[in-house]
Amino acid sequence: MRIVPRRRYESSHRNEVQQLLVSLSRNYYVGGDGNLKFQKKPFEFDFHTVSRSSKKLLVSYLIRDHFSGVYYAEMTTHDRLLNLGAFLFRAWSRKEGHEFCGIPLTLLVPQLVIDKWPRLLDLLEAHRITALKPRSGFETGMIDIKNWQRDFFDSAFVGYTKDLGLEWDYKFERMREKQLEVCVRAANRVIDREKETKLAKWLGSDAELLVPKESGDLARYFATDPR
């Protein structure tokens, strides 16, 4: 299967077009104490060179509905990459606590994702999903990644101290337990220049939902991928 050059479109319903993003963080990492940390000077690694890093850099996996802006995302570190098929299964399956689900008709896929996981094209072809290559700029999805990373970082807030100061817990594994909550909060934000939330727009579409049947059917495409 070849990836189709991006053409002009406007999605008219949910899951007509989704975008897949997998991004290596340039500023966030997990320290030896297990805490999430921020480095002002950007890291100069990519997926081909990150194995040389002495720090565990964050990696974001995100899939976003083009029609509504609702997304599902997960966070890990570069030394524990997720099985991409298993991630897609979780993103497209029905989930308790988050309404977003469903296999798209078309998936926007950056070239760097294809380079890292070439068998993704086989998976998409087998499930009759058209692959499109996004153009540069907004369509690369970096705004979505930055917003997701910011919201994930903010999930470290746990409450107020007795003197009304802010209390934070940056333990990465504890924060990962709240990543679905982060997705839900983002979905319940009001869309710019509109009066409804992203989730309300997604729920308001009556397009049929097609969900995957078995996790292994998607995960098997990446069972032997190098980590």
Q: What is the CATH number of domain 15-220?
A: 3.30.420.10
CA 128 distance to own-chain centroid: 21
**What per-residue confidence (pLDDT) applies to 227?**
46
d(CA 104, CA 170): 35
**What per-residue confidence (pLDDT) applies to 4?**
55
| Residue 179, token pair as written in the block | 């990543």
**What per-residue confidence (pLDDT) applies to 135?**
72
**What per-residue confidence (pLDDT) applies to 158?**
65
Query: In Å, what is the CA distance from 206 to each residue of 13, 17, 181, 212?
Result: 8, 15, 25, 19
The overall pTM is greater than 0.75:
yes
Q: Where are the domains of the chain?
A: 15-220
Do residues 95 and 69 lie in contact, with contact meaning Cβ atoms separated by under 8 Å?
Answer: no
| Residue 113, token pair as written in the block | 């994702």
Full pLDDT tens readout for the chain, 227 residues: 555 555 555 788 999 999 999 999 999 999 999 999 999 999 999 999 999 999 999 999 999 999 999 999 999 999 999 999 999 999 999 999 999 999 999 999 999 999 999 999 999 999 999 999 887 644 556 788 888 988 998 888 766 555 645 677 889 999 999 999 999 999 998 876 768 999 999 999 999 999 998 777 898 888 765 44
